[in-house]
Structure 1
């Protein structure tokens, strides 16, 4: 397949199980770049075997890590995927067909639609998992990632087109993976709050849990996906509650910040 002057950029740590699928799903990229933050499995070797150039960078947080990756790319146009994401064949064909015109224009970025695979099969109704729009294709001179440690977003001005076909997200192969990720993500988010001096308002905690559950289960239609929808809504609400509890602990017991970081590292809980 002919290549296009675009870089596929993936940030990794211990992603041996899925990095090959991610890289192979973008056959038209002239460059495949993996920024690894210290994998101790076969991630680096597999990435190299599948055509990627691998650069090491100690973990900076999601936004800063993606911005670092941007500086390492050889091309101005960049497609950013997570290791557990991959283009569907339909989206790969759509991008190959339409990217030349997009890259010749002055658009800052483009929106892609993400389809989530949860508990082994796609979600059918839950709105964030069915056609969720994410800005993942961008020109590095016209867009930049936010500096958030977690839940980063691509910042740009101007109109951006949206592609129709989806890319796939193999979201947390088990609930164990999800709970481990919750611990890491909550820690990163609370560190952002700590840096900003956000007040710890524990009185909000019960309402946060209830509203988060209702938002996902009812208004985002998780209820229509059966028990999988219930699990998603409950997990999201628990995450919202745990963040508040953990942040309260950080504020009231500052040594817990370093102690928790050490515990996460000793138990190899990845980002």
Structure 2
């Protein structure tokens, strides 16, 4: 028997993407109840736009503005005030999809600004079981665009709500970086974005703190956040996080000492489709 299609709800599924053809179809299909599926594409060259259209999405082009500004621009393009944001490598679990369909009508009639969702991360081909940032991580992803706004930063953006935000029970799924190669490329881009934010704010260079930052970041993730209970995968994720904490500070120091490196690095990253 062919299952009946899900009734549509007046909400926009919103995704910002570039070169996500391999993953984005799964993401779009996981939200069958959204009346609109909207993808803001910043210049894909791998056929992402066509994949999105095949899965029922409307595609709008916008040159890359940085994560926060890109998401705020995207909110203005939606046809509905209520918005669900996912990344291309994320998807609703069937349980969360059913919960949203059940609770969303009441949420829309309330004065709530949005809702908090929990994220379950898969790492190296399996779900993490203990590492706290990857098990039930609380994230603002469902919101009324008149009562919430993304922070205007280039990376590590977050939603700022103007009103109550209940929490949904079931998680959505994050297939985190299919390989460590993908992770390292993303780390280079995120570090570049963070360093440019620091430049805008005139943050002091404090290279003397770098060794302490590495130790503190590794201990926080490996011990305090329980990564050690996930075995060697926990070690890898802790080491990667600590290395990122150090690298972005070294890169910021280089930007200050050798300003020409900013354009050189941006050109190199652009060649990999990773515009800072």
Rounded Cα–Cα distance in structure 2 between residues aligned with 1:209 and 1:248: 16
TM-score (norm 2): 0.97
Which of 79, 93, 99 is equivalent to 1:94? Answer: 99
Does structure 1 residue 175 correspond to structure 2 residue 191?
Answer: no
- 1:265 deviates by 1.2
8 Å CA contact 2:113–2:161 kept in 1: the answer is yes
Match of 1:227?
Answer: 232
5+ long unaligned stretches in structure 2: 1-5
Counterpart in 2 of 1:20? 25
> Is 2:56 the partner of 1:51?
yes
Q: Does 1:241 align with 2:258?
A: no
Distance 1:31 1:127 in 2: 33
Residues 1:161 and 2:166 are matched in the alignment: yes
Superposition CA RMSD, Å? 0.8
- Distance (whole Å) between structure 1 residues aligned to residue 162 and residue 194 of structure 2: 25
Runs of 4+ in 1 over 3 A off after TM superposition: 267-271
Question: CA offsets, 1:143-188, max 9 Å, x none?
Answer: 0000010000001132210000000000000000000000000000
2:220 alignment partner, one of 215, 222, 229: 215
TM-superposed CA distance for 1:197, in Å, is 0.3
Output the CA distance in 2 between the equivalents of 1:71 and 1:161.
Answer: 24
Q: How many residue pairs end up in the alignment?
A: 271
- Give the C-alpha shift of residue 236 in structure 1: 0.1
Q: What's the TM-score once normalised by structure 1's chain length?
A: 0.99
Alpha-carbon deviation of 1:42?
1.5
Partner of 2:46: 41
Matched residue SS, 1:224: helix
User: 1:22, 1:139 → 2: CA distance?
Assistant: 21
What residue number does 1:206 align with? 211
How many angstroms apart in 1 are the aligned matches of 2:26 and 2:38? Answer: 14
**Distance (Å, rounded) in 2 between the aligned partners of 1:265 and 1:66:** 20
